Amino acid sequence: MMPRLKSSESSTVALTAPMSDSNKPTMRQFALLEALAKMDRFATLQTLVEETGLPKPTVHRMLQQLESAGMVQRDGDGRQYTTGLRLRHLAESVLLNNTVHGARHLVLRQLVEAVGETCNLTAFNGSEVVYLDRVETPAPLRFYLHSGSVVPAHCSATGKLFLSQMTTGQRRRLLGQVELERFTPKTLSSFDAIEQEIAEVKRSGVAYDREEYLPGLLCVAVLVPSSNRPSNLGLAVQAPIMRMTPEKALNYIPLLQRAAKALQAIEEQAASGPDHTST
């Protein structure tokens, strides 16, 4: 998910909230996973002790249990911890099977009807972009990427948008841990080149993938607005370069922004709870 600044206060509240004795071990493990997921770097045992306020032996024992379950894994020199593959798959499943999927999908379908090209909705997970939903163009020439597919952030239009919400230090730490693979001659494969691109993304609020992941594929994207936190939803139109030039893509930006606003309304309605959701 989007890296966020750590919050010792929120972790403490989670641990000190009233709970039954039978639930306390489970809630402690959940709080530990929550603290680990919020960190934008590898965590040491001592860091997690300070973050959760739990005794060191307790945290060490829980880490061993979570590691054996695939929810946590060790990195670096073996004394650093990060989220495990099973936990990341769980996060992806939650994203892919969200109850607002139907409403989101309708917005995507309407956008495809308006622009005539494939549209997709993405989220950020680790250093990759996850395709949450996708509606294909009826045109015969298209690129197939199904829901659940992942692409590296540095060569994805929505990935650049997600990266633009971080500080330079956060981007450097994140991208420094992954290979900036050069998929095509146009892939941005250095941190300086990506930073230059990010500066333009911040200025315009729009990002492009100009044949950086697949040859012949152009993509233009915007973030779904979020009122109280960094957005973790990106909306994009993609098409073969022979049908959608960068100049033509400019005409799609107002339609993308309108659809992004509609998606924002869906997210906010879902967040307000069942008492505020229309039937």
Question: What CATH number does residue 80 fall under?
Answer: 1.10.10.10
Does 135 share its domain with 236? yes
Indicate if 78 and 125 belong to the same structural domain.
Answer: no
The pLDDT tens digits for 114-162 are 999 999 999 998 889 999 899 998 887 766 666 778 899 999 999 999 9
Same domain, 62 and 131: no
Give the 3-state secondary structure of residue 21.
Answer: coil
Q: Are residues 115 and 73 in the same domain?
A: no
Mark whether 41 and 149 lie in a shared domain.
Answer: no
Chunk the chain into consecutive blocks of 10 residues (it has 279) and report each block's average pLDDT, rounded to whole numbers.
32 33 71 84 87 90 89 80 84 72 91 94 90 87 71 95 95 91 95 96 96 94 92 94 91 96 90 55
Asked, for residue 217, whether it belongs to a domain, the answer is yes
What pLDDT score does 75 carry?
A: 77
Of all helices (H) and strands (E), which one includes residue 73?
strand 72-75
Per-residue pLDDT at 80: 87
Residues 139 and 47 in one domain: no
End residue of a domain, out of 37, 65, 89: 89
163 and 81 assigned to the same domain: no
Nearest to 240 by CA among 217, 209, 221: 217
22 plus 55 within the same structural domain: yes
Which residue type is seen at 204? S
- Written as six digits, the tokens of 134 are 């996708």
Tell me which of 89, 122, 157 is where a domain ends: 89
Q: Do 154 and 245 belong together in one domain?
A: yes
In a domain, 3, yes or no: no
Spatial separation of the C-alpha atoms in residues 101 and 258, rounded to whole Å:
18
Same domain, 249 and 193: yes
Question: What is the residue range of 269's domain?
Answer: 98-274
User: Which string of DSSP letters, residue by residue, matches 211-236?
Assistant: SSSSTTEEEEEEEPP-SSS----EEE
The whole-number pLDDT of residue 274 equals 55
Structural domain count, the chain: 2
Q: What is the pLDDT of residue 100?
A: 76
- State the pLDDT at residue 83: 86
18 and 125 both lie in a single domain: no
Please report the pLDDT score of residue 28 as a whole number: 87
The answer to whether the pTM exceeds 0.85 is no
According to the model, what pLDDT value does residue 19 have?
A: 36
Identify the pLDDT of residue 97: 65
Residue 277's pLDDT is 42
Structure tokens at 36: 């680990």
Say which residues have a Cβ less than 8 Å from residue 208's Cβ, sequence separation at least 6: 157, 160, 218, 219, 220, 221, 246, 249
Paired sense of beta strands 118-125 and 234-240, if any: antiparallel
Asked if residue 53 and residue 161 are part of one domain, the reply reads: no
Amino acid 10: pLDDT? 32
